[in-house]
Amino acid sequence: MGEELKEKLFNKKVNGWESVTEQEKEEIFELSKNYINFLNKAKIEREFVKESIKLAEKNGYTDIANKQNLKAGDKVYFNNRGKSLYLAIIGDESIENGLHIIGSHIDSPRLDLKPNPLYEDSELAYLKTHYYGGIKKYQWTTIPLSIHGTIVKSNGEKIDICIGENDEDPIFTITDLLPHLAQEQMEKKLKNGIEGENLNLLIGSIPYKDNKISEKVKLNILNILNQKYGITEVDFTSSELELVPAFKARSLGFDESMVAAYGQDDKVCAYTSLVTMMELQKVKNTAVCILSDKEEIGSMGNTGMESHMFDFFISEIINKMGINRPNVLDKVFCFSKMLSSDVDAAFDPIYAGVSDKLNAGMFNRGINLNKYTGARGKSGASDANAEYVAWIRNILEKNNIKYQISELGKVDVGGGGTIAFILANKGADVIDCGVPVLSMHAPYEVTSKYDIYSAYKTYKAFWME
Ligand code: MN
Ligand code: MN
């Protein structure tokens, strides 16, 4: 009798794999295979935007600038400077009833080159870096790194760079001290073990053949770059070059149940929402997919979510539907609903001490909702209203989607934020949700294929609602 009552009253937490059919398992693995392939082509935000536009155009999306008028069923996108992307399908209902927005970010922690990066020391050539986002610096030494990004010459000519991904390409690395001579270093606190100013990338060692000059290794490197890309040293000043791990995204485990890859925060949510959007044909509320930039450094700048570029995109939609008048944009936002789809810390049994197990995101339990994020007494959090959480729960439950709700770590242990508050400040109902990640912000992050599939199902159900 107690068992029946327990069955009825307890909030059951079960491993999703236990009820997966053979056919579902195939779908789960297929989705992850495509995700892995996409990640290997799109390691940085610019590449993600490029690949997304290719996919979107194949699926009937048009640059909104090329559309005069918009009506229900139309599919458009807005490319914000090649670094963030917004997509929309116009819904059957009046846009004044609000948008259904799913927003993620496509920037990930990494090392950026400094504006004056190149130097030679002791006949070795290096590039100096400034890290981007929250990293544990020691994790970025002694691993293969590739260089991705863009150099823009003063005449406007753009040179896209990607070195270290093909097997024939050279890679680069940041050295660390050998243990034999690291006594002093090993006594330091972990966070001070590697200094930010020492994250210098080793890039060459052959001197230019000329006895009469100095800095011959640096000259030889510049000569190679000049022959290959037509650039000189000053062109680094107008470049955005990012160092990311040269590792490929792979399946992980004997059972191949997980994905190991760089940049899954937050490309796992970005990819799943993007492919879901590609499958939509008809929606009730206008569906919007945000792939934002700069989340890892506070969402600032004109490609970050704090920028008015997104408002401009929605205004353009309203203009081209021929219904704009004062305050319509405000009204649209105030009636909108949003999933801020960003990854969450997965419970790691090796480091169990930082989590409250009752309120931690677990692998294989499906999409992870966060009612709030923030730190130290929820500071900075966009705390979703109970009514909205109930509305989301209802969608998940009626579509048979496994979900869990969690916090990021124990109270006062740490915390974090997402883009949720930015849309909430415009008046939308917002809740954070996403895929739990192990080793978040490390060069190689781990996710569960079951949870990735669950995110995809959630996004589909939300947009189809
Ligand atoms: Mn994130
Ligand atoms: Mn992050």
Q: Which ligand minimizes its atom distance to the CA of 343?
A: 1
Give the DSSP letter of residue 34. H
What's the 435 CA to ligand 2 centre distance in angstroms? 12
Ramachandran category for residue 73: left, alpha or beta (phi over 0 → left; psi -120 to 50 → alpha): left
Counting every residue, how long is the chain? 465
Residue 100 pLDDT > 90: yes
Give the DSSP letter of residue 62. E
Q: Which ligand minimizes its atom distance to the CA of 109?
A: 2
What's the 133 CA to ligand 1 centre distance in angstroms? 10
What's the 266 CA to ligand 2 centre distance in angstroms? 7
pLDDT in tens, 217-247: 999 999 999 999 999 999 999 999 999 999 9
Give me the percent of the chain exceeding a pLDDT of 90.
Answer: 96
> Cis link prior to 266 (omega < 30° from 0)?
yes
Q: Which ligand minimizes its atom distance to the CA of 106?
A: 1
What's the 346 CA to ligand 1 centre distance in angstroms? 13
What's the 342 CA to ligand 2 centre distance in angstroms? 8
Cβ atoms 417, 380 nearer than 8 A: yes
Q: Which ligand minimizes its atom distance to the CA of 135?
A: 2
What's the 263 CA to ligand 2 centre distance in angstroms? 9
Residue 12: predicted pLDDT:
87
Q: Which ligand minimizes its atom distance to the CA of 270?
A: 1
What's the 178 CA to ligand 1 centre distance in angstroms? 34
What's the 414 CA to ligand 2 centre distance in angstroms? 13
What's the 235 CA to ligand 2 centre distance in angstroms? 30
Strand partners, 85: 79, 291
Three-state DSSP state, 386: helix
385 confidence band (pLDDT: 50, 70, 90): very high
Q: Which ligand minimizes its atom distance to the CA of 344?
A: 1
pLDDT in tens, 50-98: 999 999 999 999 999 999 999 999 999 999 999 999 999 999 999 999 9
Superfamily of domain 2-108+262-464, CATH level 4: Zn peptidases (3.40.630.10)
Mean pLDDT of the chain: 97
Give the C-alpha separation, 81 to 309, whole Å: 10
pLDDT in tens, 432-444: 999 999 999 999 9
What's the 131 CA to ligand 1 centre distance in angstroms? 16
What's the 60 CA to ligand 1 centre distance in angstroms? 29
What's the 431 CA to ligand 1 centre distance in angstroms? 14
Residue 380 pLDDT > 90: no
State pTM to two decimals: 0.97
Residues contacting residue 180 through CB under 8 Å, at least 6 positions apart: none
What's the 339 CA to ligand 1 centre distance in angstroms? 13
What's the 454 CA to ligand 2 centre distance in angstroms? 20
What's the 122 CA to ligand 2 centre distance in angstroms? 37
Of the candidates 275, 288, 311, the one whose C-alpha atom is nearest the C-alpha of residue 75 is 288
What's the 264 CA to ligand 1 centre distance in angstroms? 9
What's the 340 CA to ligand 1 centre distance in angstroms? 10
pLDDT in tens, 254-298: 999 999 999 999 999 999 999 999 999 999 999 999 999 999 999
Cβ atoms 61, 74 nearer than 8 A: no
pLDDT in tens, 114-172: 999 999 999 999 999 999 999 999 999 999 999 999 999 999 999 999 999 999 999 99
Give the C-alpha separation, 196 to 238, whole Å: 22
Q: Which long-range contacts (CB under 8 A, 24 or more apart) does 18-26 make?
A: 20/450, 24/453
What's the 223 CA to ligand 2 centre distance in angstroms? 38
Give the C-alpha separation, 269 to 287, whole Å: 16
What's the 296 CA to ligand 1 centre distance in angstroms? 7
- The mean per-residue pLDDT over the stretch 167-190 comes to 97
Kindly list the protein residues that place their beta carbon closer than 5 angstroms to ligand 1, a single-atom ion: 265-266, 342
Instruction: Return the sign of the alpha-carbon dihedral for residues 90, 91, 94, 95.
Output: negative
Give the C-alpha separation, 48 to 292, whole Å: 10
1 confidence band (pLDDT: 50, 70, 90): confident
Q: Which ligand minimizes its atom distance to the CA of 105?
A: 1
Query: Is 3.30.365.10 the CATH classification of the domain at 117-245?
Result: no
What's the 267 CA to ligand 1 centre distance in angstroms? 9
Rg (CA), the chain: 24
User: Domain spans of the chain?
Assistant: 2-108+262-464, 117-245
Cβ atoms 290, 305 nearer than 8 A: yes
What's the 107 CA to ligand 2 centre distance in angstroms? 9
What's the 93 CA to ligand 1 centre distance in angstroms? 32
- The mean per-residue pLDDT over the stretch 26-40 comes to 98
Residue 109 pLDDT > 90: yes
pLDDT in tens, 352-369: 999 999 999 999 999 999
Q: Which ligand minimizes its atom distance to the CA of 134?
A: 2
Of the candidates 303, 291, 298, the one whose C-alpha atom is nearest the C-alpha of residue 266 is 291
Residue 415: predicted pLDDT:
87
What's the 459 CA to ligand 2 centre distance in angstroms? 20
- The mean per-residue pLDDT over the stretch 399-422 comes to 93
Q: Which ligand minimizes its atom distance to the CA of 435?
A: 1
Q: Which ligand minimizes its atom distance to the CA of 418?
A: 1
Within 379-448, residue ranges assigned H as helices are 386-398, 420-425
